[in-house]
C-alpha cells in the first residue's frame, strides 16, 4: 500500500483523508479548502508573518480607558485658629492660719494637756494609732484619769478634721456640764418635786438641743445623757437648744443604769416611753419623775427598760408608727406638766 511523504498510509485512489484540505505552497499563499478557523497569516516555518492584531485593535471593542485626570492645584486653606479658654486663677494653698477650725476643737499637745489639767469638759480625745511616746503618753494617761473618752483613729481621719494635728485632737464641750447634785439643788431651790429627762442613745445633736429646749420650757430640773452611744453638747446641739443650755443642768454619766438606780433611791419614779406602754392620757404622771426617751428606731435599751417603773405611749392615728424623738419628748413633757397642775 502506498504511503505519502509523511509516511501516512494512503487509501484507494491514491488520496488520504487530509487531501481535501490542501495545505498550499510554503510561500505564504492563501490555502485552499481550509476552514477559516484553521487559517493563519503566515507560514509555520521561515520568516514570521505580520504581527497579530492587539485585543484593543479588534473591531467592536472599546479602546483603553483614559488615565486619571491630573489633580487640580488648590490654594492651601488657612488654618482655623483653636479657641483657647481663659486662664482660671488658681487659689493658693491654704496656710496654717487660713484653715477653718471647728469652734470646739483643741489642736496641739500643750493646749490639750492644759485643758485636761484645768478640768475643762472634753467630749472625746482622738489619738493617732501607733506607739505613744513622750508627751502623748502623758496626755492619754491624764485623759483616762479624768474619765475622758479616748479613741485611736487612723491618720487619715485626723487629716480630714485638721491637717496640723500633731497626732491628737480634742473636742471640748460647747457648754459646761452639771452634776447630779445640781439637779436636786435646783429642785430644792424652786420648792418643786424633781423632774428629770433621761436620754438613752440620742445621737443626733439637733434632737438633743430640741429636747433640752423643751425641758427648759416646761420647767424640768435637768437632762441626763450617757458618755457613750450618745451625742454631747456639741456646737450644733447648743445652737439647736437656742440658749436653753445656759439655764438647764445637763449631766453626763458613765453608767446610765446605775444612775437610774440612784434616782430610784432618791424617790423618783422611772417612766419609759415605749410603743406598748399605757396611754399617756390615763397614766399617773404626778410626783417626782424621771422620763426616759430612747433613740429613734431602736427605742429604749433592754436594760434601761427593765429599770423603768412604768411605761407610757402616745396614741398614733396615722400611717407612721413613731414620732421624732424630740417631738415625742416635748409631748410627754407637757403631759407631765398638765398632770402636775391638777
pLDDT in tens, 3-25: 555 555 555 555 445 444 444 55
Segments making up each domain of the chain, as ranges? 105-172, 180-341
Q: What is the pLDDT of residue 18?
A: 47
Residue found under cell 443604769 = 257
Separation CA 272–CA 307 (nearest Å): 9
> What is the reported pLDDT for 161?
84
Q: What is the pLDDT of residues 83-139, one digit of tens each?
A: 777 766 655 555 544 456 666 788 888 888 888 888 888 888 889 888 777 788 888
Correct CATH for 105-172 of 3.40.50.1370, 3.40.50.720, 3.40.50.11270, 3.30.1330.30: 3.30.1330.30
Are 294 and 200 contacting, i.e. CB atoms less than 8 angstroms apart?
A: yes
Pairing of strands 168-172, 122-128: antiparallel
Output the pLDDT for position 198. 95
According to DSSP H, which parts of the chain are helical?
A: 109-117, 135-145, 155-161, 180-190, 205-218, 235-241, 256-265, 302-306, 325-341
Q: Do domains 105-172 and 180-341 have the same CATH topology?
A: no
Strands 105-107 and 168-172: antiparallel
Which regions of the chain are under pLDDT 50?
15-16, 18-23, 37, 41, 45, 96-98
Q: How far apart are CA 208 and CA 202, in angstroms?
A: 7
Residue 186 phi/psi, 5° resolution? -65, -40
Q: What pLDDT sits at residue 210?
A: 93
> How distant, in Å, are the alpha carbons of 58, 65, 71, 318, 325 from that of 62?
9, 8, 26, 96, 100
**pLDDT at res. 43:** 52
Q: Which CATH number fits domain 180-341: 3.40.30.10, 3.90.1150.10, 3.40.50.300, 3.40.1280.10?
A: 3.40.1280.10
How far apart are the C-alpha atoms of 81 and 146, rounded to whole Å? 71
* Single pTM value for the model: 0.63
CA distance 17 to 321: 123
Amino acid at each position: 500500500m502506498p504511503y505519502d511523504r509523511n509516511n501516512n498510509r494512503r487509501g484507494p485512489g491514491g488520496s488520504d483523508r487530509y487531501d481535501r484540505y490542501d495545505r498550499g505552497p510554503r510561500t505564504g499563499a492563501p490555502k485552499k479548502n481550509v476552514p477559516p478557523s484553521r487559517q493563519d497569516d503566515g507560514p509555520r516555518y521561515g520568516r514570521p508573518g505580520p504581527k497579530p492584531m492587539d485585543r484593543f485593535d479588534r473591531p467592536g471593542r472599546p479602546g483603553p480607558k483614559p488615565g486619571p485626570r491630573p489633580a487640580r492645584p488648590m490654594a492651601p486653606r488657612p488654618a482655623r485658629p483653636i479657641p483657647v479658654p481663659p486662664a482660671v486663677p488658681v487659689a493658693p494653698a491654704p496656710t496654717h492660719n487660713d484653715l477653718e477650725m471647728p469652734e470646739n476643737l483643741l489642736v496641739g499637745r500643750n493646749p490639750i494637756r492644759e485643758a485636761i489639767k484645768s478640768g475643762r469638759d472634753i467630749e472625746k480625745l482622738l489619738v493617732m494609732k501607733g506607739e505613744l511616746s513622750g508627751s502623748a503618753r502623758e496626755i492619754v494617761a491624764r485623759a483616762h484619769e479624768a474619765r475622758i473618752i479616748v479613741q485611736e483613729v487612723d491618720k487619715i481621719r485626723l487629716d480630714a478634721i485638721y491637717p496640723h494635728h500633731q497626732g491628737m485632737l480634742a473636742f471640748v464641750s460647747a457648754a459646761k456640764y452639771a452634776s447630779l447634785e445640781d439637779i436636786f439643788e435646783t429642785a430644792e431651790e424652786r420648792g418643786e418635786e424633781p423632774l428629770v429627762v433621761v436620754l438613752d442613745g440620742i445621737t443626733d445633736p439637733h434632737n438633743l438641743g430640741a429636747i433640752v429646749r423643751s425641758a427648759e420650757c416646761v420647767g424640768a430640773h435637768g437632762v441626763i445623757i450617757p458618755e457613750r452611744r450618745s451625742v454631747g453638747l456639741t456646737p450644733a446641739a447648743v445652737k439647736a437648744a437656742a440658749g436653753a443650755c445656759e439655764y438647764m443642768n445637763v449631766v453626763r454619766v458613765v453608767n446610765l443604769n446605775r444612775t437610774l438606780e440612784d434616782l430610784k433611791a432618791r424617790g423618783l419614779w422611772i417612766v419609759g416611753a415605749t410603743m406598748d406602754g399605757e396611754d399617756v392620757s390615763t397614766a399617773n404622771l404626778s410626783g417626782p419623775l424621771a422620763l426616759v426617751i430612747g433613740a429613734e428606731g431602736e427605742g429604749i435599751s433592754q436594760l434601761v427598760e427593765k429599770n423603768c417603773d412604768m411605761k407610757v405611749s402616745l396614741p398614733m392615728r396615722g400611717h407612721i408608727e413613731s414620732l421624732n424623738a424630740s417631738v415625742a419628748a416635748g409631748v410627754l413633757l407637757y403631759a407631765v406638766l398638765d398632770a402636775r397642775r391638777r
